[in-house]
Structure 1
Amino acid sequence: MRTVLAYVLLIATLLPGFSQWGTIAYYHANKEYIAKVLCENRAKPELHCDGQCYLAKKLHAQQEQQDKATTERVQKTPDFQLFYQSGLPFSFPAMVPASATILPDYLLKSYLSPPSSRFQPPQV
């Protein structure tokens, strides 16, 4: 029972991707009939259309139908709010201890300035 269900789900998942291949297979199987009866350019044999206009229209219609279905599905998807942001911005209170010491300027410059002599690019 599980294998049958697995195959049904696999086919249902892969079937929309094969719809265009089905249309192309139908075109190749009935190429003569399409070229003689359904082709728009059958009166102009110098174009060598052979029903490709019919195939192009069918593929375009299928693509539009799939795009429309996808758009409707995306629009109907419910939105879930995962995070809540309050109207007031959050701020950290100033938590500087009274005994904090400030470094002198010469130490700040040495800590904040990039090392100039230690990391040199290779000389070519």
Structure 2
Amino acid sequence: MNHKRYISLFLLLLISFKILVVPFVYLDFELRKEYIIQHLCENRFTPQLHCDGKCYLAKQLHKVAEEQARNEAQKQSDTAKKVIQEVFEETTLDFALAPVSYLDFEYFPLLSSSVQKGFLSKPIMPPIA
């Protein structure tokens, strides 16, 4: 029972991490704001723009959005491939021919019955009064 709890906790952490990617980007920006402004900002040599690292934050958010869109597109294409494979699954049809016996074959089964043979073998006579 204890290992199920660890597995469920691990899956919960994975789902939480996926949901919290954007807040982690904001948290990283706020924690390293001075370093980003001094070393990573595109406008660090023109302080009159007052960018304050927002260009770096916008780049990071754009990267995350692109990655999520790419992952979503990949999932959709994988799902479509699976559906197509299941719908149009290759099935081999085996048409084994059964042996045909010509000995028991009757060309006219109604004419060969015993009732009709007896009827045709008797001469036609008028009724007896």
Per the alignment, residue 112 of structure 2 pairs with none
Match of 1:72 among 71, 74, 77: 74
Counting aligned pairs with the same residue, the percent is: 33
Match of 2:60 among 55, 58, 61: 58
Q: Distance in 1 between matches of 2:69 and 2:23?
A: 17
Q: 1:19 Cα deviation (Å)?
A: 1.1
TM-score (norm 2): 0.59
Q: 1:14 Cα deviation (Å)?
A: 1.9
Q: Distance in 1 between matches of 2:55 and 2:66?
A: 16
Match of 1:30 among 12, 20, 32: 32
Q: Distance in 2 between matches of 1:6 and 1:42?
A: 45
The structure that is helix-richer by fraction is 2
- Alignment-mate amino acid for residue 57 of structure 2: L
2:41 counterpart of 1:39: yes
Q: How many residues align?
A: 81
- Alignment-mate amino acid for residue 38 of structure 2: K
Matching of residues 1-124 of structure 1 within 5 Å: 1-77=3-79, 78-79=82-83
Q: 1:17 Cα deviation (Å)?
A: 1.2
SS in 2 for 1:76: helix
Q: Distance in 1 between matches of 2:33 and 2:14?
A: 28
If you compute each CA radius of gyration, which structure gives the higher value, 1 or 2?
A: 2
Runs of 4+ aligned residues of structure 1 deviating over 4 Å after TM superposition are none
Per the alignment, residue 94 of structure 2 pairs with none
TM-score (norm 1): 0.61
